[in-house]
Amino acid sequence: MPDTFQIYQSDLTGPELDEALRNIGKVQQSVADAAQSAAEASKSAEDAEQAAQTAKTYGTIVQQNQQAIQDIADNLDAVQGAAQNAQTAQSAAAAAGASAQEAEQWAEQAQQISQGALGWYATPQALRSAHPTGQNGQWAIVGTTDTIWVWDGDTYGWADSGAQMDLSQYYTKTQANARFGTVQQVQQAQSAASSAQEAAGAAQSAADAATSKVYTAIFRASGWAEMGSGGYAQTVYCTGMTANVVPQPPTVQTTGTAETDKAALAALACIQAVQTLAGRVRALCYDDKPATDVTIYLTEVR
């Protein structure tokens, strides 16, 4: 038992005091519920503050890239079709290259067959009668020996090679000429193959050009900072940019309005170097800094 008691004065007596004592538990629960609600409200306030900060960050990014976003919206159909056009061009280039290679192979084979194969002859005498002279690389099939006879430049005559082969699947000279053409036609085929290869190269170049990427960076007139060695520098966000991108010299988009275009070109003239970074572009002005905001376009070198 405690030695002392804390005494509280109350005007409640009898039933009223009994009722108040019975409600102490409810009061304590209400206090606990209020504390929980306060904690949840505090957490909601923190979440709201974080959401506001995130919205502010993305709002800044959108503002800095407003012109780029508008350009994408204005050219959405072209942007969406670029990948398909590039894929189509690459497919055409691959098909043209394969056709060129196949045509060249057929041309070489046709030339070898046309110049080398002389056909089938019943006897060696029939072969010699039809071709008193020949050239190295020419050959014929003789029926009585069922072997291949070749022209021997050393003995200047036809010699039995002794090679017995099943040549039933090979073309005779007449069949080869009919299917693959004469020497002149073979040369024409080779020329066509060369033209096909050139077309394949042109198609590949078109495919590369179709996939060239353009980056947009917006530099604010108020964002330039002095460099210790002199001049000014500014680094801005640039969607998709990497440190490995090698860009062509920056350009600006003309509007057709003389004063606007002159201001943009004057601002661009102040930018003397650009550096590509991960997700950013850094511009350097070694003399004067641009007096107006300027949006530059960087085309990747392919």
Instruction: Give this prediction's pTM.
Output: 0.35
Q: What is the mean pLDDT of residues 234-254?
A: 93
| Closest CA relative to residue 302, chosen from 209, 201, 219, 183 | 209
Predicted pLDDT of residue 217: 96
Length of the chain: 302
Strand, coil or helix: what is 7? coil
| % of residues, the chain, pLDDT over 90 | 32
Looking up tokens 């050239």, which residue turns up?
Answer: 135
How much is the pLDDT for 187? 74
Whole-angstrom distance, CA of residue 4 vs CA of residue 87: 92
Distance CA 206, CA 96 (A): 13
Would you say residue 121 has pLDDT above 80?
Answer: yes
- Residue for token digits 């979440």? 47
Cβ contacts of residue 89 below 8 Å, gap of 6+?
203, 204, 206, 207, 210
Whether 92 shows a pLDDT value over 90: the answer reads: no
pLDDT in tens, 23-43: 777 767 777 777 787 778 777
Coil, strand or helix: which one is 214?
strand
The string of DSSP codes covering 115-155 is: HHEEEEESSHHHHHHH-SS--TT-EEEETTTTEEEEEETTT
pLDDT digits (tens, 9 = 90+) for 182-198: 667 767 777 777 777 88
Instruction: Evaluate if residue 220 carries a pLDDT over 90.
Output: yes
pLDDT category at 8 given cuts 50, 70, 90 is low
Provide the pLDDT for residue 269: 95
Q: 275-300: per-residue pLDDT in tens? A: 999 999 999 999 999 999 999 999 98
pLDDT band at 71 (very low <50, low <70, confident <90, very high): low
The per-residue pLDDT for 122 is 92
Mean pLDDT, rounded, for 131-141: 88
118 contacts 175 by C-beta, under 8 angstroms: no
Coil/strand/helix, residue 222: helix
Residue 296's beta-bridge partner residues? 217
Confidence of residue 156 (pLDDT cuts 50, 70, 90): confident
pLDDT band at 53 (very low <50, low <70, confident <90, very high): confident
Q: Do the Cβ atoms of 97 and 207 come closer than 8 Å?
A: no
106-137 b/e (C-beta count within 10 Å ≥ 16 → b): ebeebbebbebbbbbbeebeebeeebeebeee
pLDDT for the residue 59: 66
Q: What is the DSSP letter of 247?
A: B
Computed over every residue of the chain, the mean pLDDT equals 79
